[in-house]
Structure 1
Amino acid sequence: MSASSLPWEAPSSATAALVLLGVILSSSILADALAARTRLPRISLLVLVGVGVAFVQQALLGHSDARPLDGLGEPLIQVALVMVAFLLGGELTLDRLRHTGPLILIVSLSVIGVGVLAVGIGLWLLGFPLVVAASLAAISVATDPAAVSETVRESGDTRLRARLLMGIVAIDDGWGVLAFGLTMALLGWWLSGEGSLALVHAAWELGGALLLGTLVGLPAAWLTGRLRPGEPTQVEAIALILLLAGLADWLDVSALLAAMVAGALVANLSRHHTRSFNEIEHIEWPFLVFFFVLSGASIDLMRLDDALGLTLAYLLLRLGGRYLGGVLGVRLARSRQAELPHDIGLALTPQAGVAMGMALLAMERFPEHGGVLIAAVVASTVVFEVLGPLMVRHVLR
């Protein structure tokens, strides 16, 4: 039978996207089964599935510019991150902050400060350009809240170290956006004298996110959960997440920070329901599956050899900086030292979408260094996403 007489035709892009979505979700079922047998984190397995997709597309099929799901992948990743950020913001209740707030601040700033210095100064001393060293130092601040929170949730750990990690990752990306914006401003001023424009953009990205989170979170805190007794409905939860993701993208502000602010407001001001959008926890896992697989699939395998030395240096310096920062933070904690492991900084190594977004912004600002920055960040992100959950489990033990 000839090809023209076959009863089917090549699938359209929409049909192919639907099939791929089903395949990605099916891979999560296999990852769950394999994780149960091998005790490997399912997050790491899903990232490896994404790397396998990238290998098939780029190495076997020769489609170096192809990306899974085309334009659909970015919104799915954005929604997943906003869900995670909103839930993490819900962890920042006043009662909890009274007990662990100062500790979160001490350990977080210690890990970030030491980590930035280790990466920035280390790369500069190794001979890499100042723009590359400073950009990667700022990018190193970002932590993947999805990987950390999901691993902590899987462990069922409720000790101080687990609560501390959840609190730190809830604010780490806020520190990351601030550090990156200030770094770009200083580099712009140093190289071209245009730092004021970058500083204004960073201020809007942070201030606009706080404003958006407040404008969405305040009415949500009063309105949600009133249609029926008990917890808010899934429709309300999904509506809030989509509004936060869409408006943040439209206004060019940090969606993560806006979602954290909204989540914290709902958690602290909603007296008529017990938890901040419990329904989101019931629906977030499929979106997290898309996020982890698509993060792994975004790697450009053809550019890895161009940035091998930079990637290895960044990996080692970031790990060393996080470890030493954690040691310093635990020592500064004083009265809580006995309850915290000295290597808690290693649990803050996962890095994903936020770091990639920062790398893209750095590439737009400094195109002459953009290629090597993107290659190094994407390659290291895959490594951190695979090793990060293992380190979180190690610290929790």
Structure 2
Amino acid sequence: MTSTGTQEDVWMPIGLSPTATTLILLGVILSSSIFVDALARRTRLPRISLLVMVGVVVAVIQQLVLEVPDTRPLNGLGEPLVQVALVMVAFLLGGELTVSRLRSIGPLLLILSISVIGVGGLAVGLGLLALGFPLVVAVSLAAISVATDPAAVQETVRDSGDTRLRARLLLGIVAIDDGWGIVVFGLAMAVLGWVLAGAGNGERVLLEAAWELGGALLLGSVVGLPAAWLTGRLRPGEPTQVEALALILLLAGLSAWLGVSSLLAAMITGVLVANLSTHHTRSFNEIEHIEWPFLVFFFVLAGASVDLYHLDDALGLTLAYILLRLAGRYLGGMLGVRLARERQAELPGNIGLALTPQAGVAMGMALLAAERFPEYGAVLLSAVVGSTLVFEILGPFLVRRVLD
């Protein structure tokens, strides 16, 4: 006896689409930050370094296990997430540069800050050129070396309970150091573009560089002036958070569209809002509340961007960069102390070593430099990610040594 019926195939709604993959990866990355926080509290290791290591593990799985080195994590969503995180950081840095703060820190802080970044940047740039590294690599890393991780320094100083002049100076310097770094990096990228353009294209590239910097100042002013008046005038709560997030997204999107420096534009906007919005400070508070998830994506994706096949090529560069940056910070600090004649007895000669931690802004600059000069992107990213791990672990110990 035969059956006349037909048996239908069993259908299960299971399929891993690109959208599903992206959403799962987003959830996994954020979940990993929970375990990183717990591990950082137990081990006292910097959570930024641990997040970067999570990204390196992602790179190992992707490049060595799955053997798909050209696949970008998150299917291209990583780039806008990184851009938003960088704009948030730059905006908050601009908010630190108030007139009252600059007046209170005085010329002593400016002397030390300029001395450390000037000598440090020259030491890295000239040292790498002397060792035979390409001009793009030397100049890019010299500009990147200016940035300091304020969180690592602030946390270590506060844990020490030190309130002496040296501690106050360190807190003041790291509040403005990344601001200097953004300006120096923008100038360095503009100069590199002009130098590498050649005689025939020099004028065009010079105009592009002028627009990248001048346009950033213009965009920051165009967004920052009305934002300083408009933000915070609605009732507290959700509207203010919406205003803050809208400001960040507008800055990131308009900067990319107009081809100007997003870091400089966001910093200018932050400066204007901080100094002109006397009726509130909630925009900065709201961004601080939502900043961390974006930073988690940023640090993990920075680690995942390392090209493991070029690690051998970057090993010598990484070691040279670490040693030159340490030497430059030490010498810059010594020079700054000597220039501060009237307060010299209160300041240690090795104060520059307390400014060695390096994290988010430096890696953001490396990502931007890699995008601008893709032929050097792999080696630049590998060097900065590797050195960041070293500086984030070594930095707090050097801060404590300076404060002892």
With normalisation by structure 2, the TM-score equals 0.86
Distance 2:205 2:105 in 1: 34
Higher mean C-alpha displacement, 340-349 vs 238-247: 340-349
In structure 2, the residue matched to 1:298 is: 305
Match of 1:43 among 20, 28, 48: 48
In structure 2, the residue matched to 1:367 is: none
- The one-letter code sitting in structure 2 at the alignment partner of 1:246 is G
Match of 1:162 among 146, 171, 193: 171
Measure how far apart 1:84 and its partner are: 1.0
- The one-letter code sitting in structure 2 at the alignment partner of 1:267 is A
| Structure index of larger Rg | 2
Contact 1:232 1:273 in 2 (8 A): no
Match of 2:188 among 166, 170, 179: 179
Whether 1:388 aligns to 2:397 is no
- The one-letter code sitting in structure 1 at the alignment partner of 2:387 is F
In structure 1, the residue matched to 2:4 is: none
Contact 2:120 2:146 in 1 (8 A): no
Correspondence list, 1:115-130, <5 A: 115-128=120-133
- The one-letter code sitting in structure 2 at the alignment partner of 1:386 is L
In structure 1, the residue matched to 2:65 is: 60
Contact 2:243 2:283 in 1 (8 A): no
Correspondence list, 1:189-228, <5 A: 189=198, 192-228=199-235
Match of 1:361 among 372, 376, 382: 372
Measure how far apart 1:239 and its partner are: 0.6
Q: CA RMSD in A?
A: 2.6
In structure 1, the residue matched to 2:381 is: 378
Task: Assess, with a 3 A threshold, how the Cα gap between structure 1 residues 318 and 156 changes in structure 2: closer, same or farther.
Answer: closer
Task: Assess, with a 3 A threshold, how the Cα gap between structure 1 residues 206 and 46 changes in structure 2: closer, same or farther.
Answer: same
Higher mean C-alpha displacement, 17-26 vs 168-177: 168-177
Please list the CA deviations of residues 83-111 of structure 1 after superposition, one character each: whole Å capped at 9, or x if unmatched: 11111111000011112264454334333
- The one-letter code sitting in structure 2 at the alignment partner of 1:388 is F
Contact 2:232 2:280 in 1 (8 A): yes
What secondary structure does 2:144 align onto?
coil
Identity among equivalent positions (%) equals 58
What secondary structure does 1:141 align onto?
helix
In structure 2, the gaps of 5 or more residues are 1-8, 159-166
Task: Assess, with a 3 A threshold, how the Cα gap between structure 1 residues 231 and 171 changes in structure 2: closer, same or farther.
Answer: farther
Distance 2:380 2:343 in 1: 35
- The one-letter code sitting in structure 1 at the alignment partner of 2:168 is R
Whether 1:331 aligns to 2:338 is yes
- The one-letter code sitting in structure 1 at the alignment partner of 2:171 is A
Distance 1:7 1:86 in 2: 48
- The one-letter code sitting in structure 1 at the alignment partner of 2:43 is T
Higher mean C-alpha displacement, 302-311 vs 377-386: 302-311
In structure 1, the residue matched to 2:255 is: 248
In structure 1, the residue matched to 2:149 is: 148
Measure how far apart 1:275 and its partner are: 5.3
Task: Assess, with a 3 A threshold, how the Cα gap between structure 1 residues 395 and 199 changes in structure 2: closer, same or farther.
Answer: farther
Return structure 1 stretches of 4+ with deviation > 4 angstroms. 152-156, 229-232
In structure 1, the gaps of 5 or more residues are 364-369
Contact 1:104 1:168 in 2 (8 A): no
Contact 2:146 2:180 in 1 (8 A): no
What secondary structure does 1:69 align onto?
helix
Distance 2:109 2:79 in 1: 31
Measure how far apart 1:34 and its partner are: 0.4
Distance 2:174 2:237 in 1: 29
Distance 1:30 1:286 in 2: 14
In structure 1, the residue matched to 2:88 is: 83
Task: Assess, with a 3 A threshold, how the Cα gap between structure 1 residues 41 and 196 changes in structure 2: closer, same or farther.
Answer: same
In structure 1, the residue matched to 2:141 is: 139
Higher mean C-alpha displacement, 349-358 vs 297-306: 349-358
